[in-house]
Chains A and B, each alone.
Chain A
Amino acid sequence: EIVMTQSPAILSVSPGERATLSCRASQSISSDLAWYQQKPGQAPRLLIYGASTRPIGMPARFRGSGSGTEYTLTINSLQPEDFAVYYCQQYNKWPLSFGQGTKVEIK
């Protein structure tokens, strides 16, 4: 199974600033990576797939990048509604696997 490791576990950021979240795969996943946002009591919401593609309607401040084993989610100009937990997920090989999450909290 491919192990996904996210860092940091908690990221403290002020509103309006940029957040940079990392996700590392235990082997190359060829950009078969998705990012999700989850708020308390809600299901995850897809932010990014294919490492860098936003679904229709997703704000441009969410930007995904990376390749091979290293991936980054950048959230520019953090809005109040962006404070949440973020997960990465690989779909290069079965079983699909998720990272343990990064909580973005208000500084």
Chain B
Amino acid sequence: QVQLQESGPGLVKPSETLSLTCTASGGSISSYHWGWIRQSPGKGLEWIGFIYHSEPPNYNPSLKGRAIMSVDTSKNQLSLRLNSVTAADTAVYYCARRGLTFEAFDIWGPGTRVTVSA
């Protein structure tokens, strides 16, 4: 059973770039689609986007082009970069595996909390 673990700085300054990594173990990252989701008290759960190793990512338009996702199959890792962050980007960020036949998430990482503050 694949396991996921997010990592990255817990504190980011406003206007800077948030960078997170998700490492998969127990399975190949090339075999599935993957997603990033965030959760904040104000907005609840918010889908950030999907990525598959051989296809362009798909993003939530609400992020206004600030998100960039990528896959490194040699390291079995996903990454998320979010540019020009504000306090509204403060959240717990999750990576998750998308189902094979449905666009919901059947395996989640434990999440990593990111605070945007000066």
Contacts and interface: CB of A to CB of B under 8 A. Distances in A.
A and B: partners? yes
Interface of A: 1, 32, 34, 36, 42-46, 49-50, 55, 87, 89, 91, 94-101
B110 interface: yes
Nearest to A96: B47
Contacts, number: 53
Contact of A49 (B61, B99, B111): B99
Given A45-B108, A98-B44, 18 more contacts: A34-B104, A42-B110, A43-B109, A43-B110, A43-B111, A44-B45, A46-B104, A46-B105, A49-B99, A55-B106, A89-B45, A95-B47, A95-B60, A96-B60, A96-B103, A97-B47, A98-B46, A99-B44
Contacts of A55: 106
B108 A43 contact: yes
B102 A91 contact: yes
